[in-house]
Amino acid sequence: MRIIACTERSFGKLEPFSLEMITAARAAGATGDEVVAFFAGQDPEPAVANLGAADRLVAASAGNSELIAAESYARLLKDVVAAEEPGLVLVPYSANGLDVAADLAARTGWPLVSYVNEVRRDGDRLTVIAQVYGGKILAECNVPLPAILMVNPGAFAEAERRTVDPSKLQHSDARAVVAEGRVRLVGVDVPNYDSVDLTTAERIVCVGRGIGDEASIDIARGLADILGAEIAGSRPVVDSGWLPKVRQVGKSGQKVKPKLYLALGVSGAPEHLEGMSKSDLIIAVNTDPKAPIFNVAHFGATCDLFDLVANLSERLQAASDR
């Protein structure tokens, strides 16, 4: 069987989840299956330089705009699917993938499962585990082949980065297809990081009154910097003027939903939880084992936050220096 793994680039770089699609394809494949990476976008150079783990790369370069509209991507993919006749197509769950996966499913009539975390192949039977209800429930699904899967980034490890052997590269010019598109890209805005918007932050380190005083905030800020996280505070911390109001999380502050929320010395009053309990991963550090923050935390530790931060910062720093 042939499996197509869809890949993307963004601002000159290959999206890391592209490599994960290849790992997922291998996981879904049986021995002898062929994994074909599909790429569409401006200049396939980063794809060529990294996707060597796939058996082949089919790349369509789509001219000089930084982004390619999903409409064009889907159209190019459909042509490749028609030509390659794969048994499975893996699409990443991305802004682009959201428009591509079901579009292809509608045009081919193939089954589709979204938000896939795990795949299992048993002869010609494919079973997947996917998230529903925002991850509150996992669904085990039977998928008749040929089929399409929309795979969660982060669910599979990245495949090894290798250059694609020129003999395994099939390259075409897709500018004509893009020009025919009915969705015309007119501009791209790159965020300006001067003003903080916690609501869109992906990682947050939040300090509560347990931080003790203003000067100690810097210790937490150090950890936040290492993690690439925004620093935030509970209401008492903001009240004390240790952090500006835009960094307050909670009922009367910002409602946040980051991928990582690290709460240091926050007790977890309902007004605080209201602003952050939907975060994907919550880690809480609080000396009081009865602190209600532990009711929402995925991981909790009851040690002194200063000891922990010092220790953790050191480890993470060392790891990234390596």
Partner 1 sequence: MKILVVLRMIPDSAGELELTSDGRGIDREWLDFQLNDFDDHALEEAILLKEASGATVVAVAIGEGSNRVLQMAVARGADEAIALDAQADGMIDSRAIAGSIVALARSKAADLVLCGVQSTEDLFGQLVPYAGALLGWPHVSGSSRLGIEGSALRVTQERGGGIAATYEIALPAVIGVQTASKAPRYVSGSKLREASKTTIGKARFEPAGFERSAEIVALRLPGQRGTGEHLGDNPENVAERLAGILAAKGFAGV
Partner 2 sequence: MSETPVLWIVTLAAIALTVWRSRRYIVALAQAPGANRFDQPWRRLEGVAIAIGLHRKLLRKPLSGILHALIFVSFFVLFTVTIEAFGSRLFPGFSLAPIGGDSWIALLQDLFAVLMLAGLGLAVYQRYVLKPARFKGSSGADAAIIYVLILLIVSSLLIEAGARIVGGADGSWRPVASLVADLLRVLDLPAHPAERIAYWIHIGAILAFLVYIPGSKHRHMFLAAPNIYFRNLEPAGTAPAVPSERENPGVASLVQFDWKQQLDLLSCTECGRCQAVCPAYASGLPLSPKMLITDMRDALANEASGPLVGGVIAEETLWACTTCRACMEACPVEIEHLPKIIDMRRHLVDEGHVSPMLQDALSNLTRLGNSMGKPSKMRARWTKELGFPVKDARSEPVDVLWFVGDYASYDPRVQDVTRKVAELLTAAGVDFGILFDAERNSGNDVRRAGEEGLFETLAQSNIDAIRACSFNRIVTTDPHSLNALKNDYRHFGGEFEVLHYTALLAELVAAGRLDIGPADGATVTYHDPCYLGRYNGGFDAPRDLIRAAGYTLHDMPRCRENSFCCGAGGGRIWQGDDGVKERPSENRIREALGLGVGIFVVACPKDKVMYTAATDALGVASSLRILDVAELINLREASSA
Rg (CA), the chain: 23
41-70: contacts with ligand FAD (CB under 6 A) = none
1 binds, among partner 1, partner 2, ligand FAD, none (CB under 5 to 8 A by kind): none
Binder of partner 1 out of 69, 206, 219, 243 (CB under 8 A): 69
287 binds ligand FAD (CB under 6 A): yes
75 binds, among partner 2, partner 1, ligand FAD, none (CB under 5 to 8 A by kind): none
Binder of ligand FAD out of 234, 277, 279, 313 (CB under 6 A): 234
183 binds partner 1 (CB under 8 A): yes
The least CB distance from residue 252 to partner 2, in Å, is: 5
181 binds partner 1 (CB under 8 A): yes
Q: Report the SS3 class of residue 112.
A: strand
137-166: contacts with partner 1 (CB under 8 A) = 137-144, 147, 150, 154
103 binds partner 1 (CB under 8 A): yes
Strands 125-132 and 203-207: unpaired
Give the CA count within 13 Å in the CB-facing half-sphere of 92.
28
The least CB distance from residue 260 to partner 1, in Å, is: 5
By CB neighbour count within 10 A (0-12 exposed, 13-18 middle, 19+ buried), where does 285 fall? buried
Closest CA to 293 of 274, 271, 269: 269
According to DSSP, residue 294 is labeled G
Q: Kindly state the number of chain residues that form the binding site for ligand FAD, as judged by CB under 6 A.
A: 28
Closest CA to 205 of 231, 236, 226, 225: 231
Instruction: From 29-37, 46-54, 167-175, 303-311, give the range in contact with ligand FAD by CB under 6 A.
Output: 303-311
Closest CA to 14 of 167, 163, 201, 148: 163
252-311: contacts with partner 2 (CB under 8 A) = 252, 267, 269-271, 274, 292
251 binds partner 2 (CB under 8 A): yes
Distance CA 285, CA 266 (A): 8
Residue 7 burial (CB count, 10 A): 29
Q: Which residues bind partner 2 (CB under 8 A)?
A: 209, 235-236, 239, 245, 251-252, 267, 269-271, 274, 292
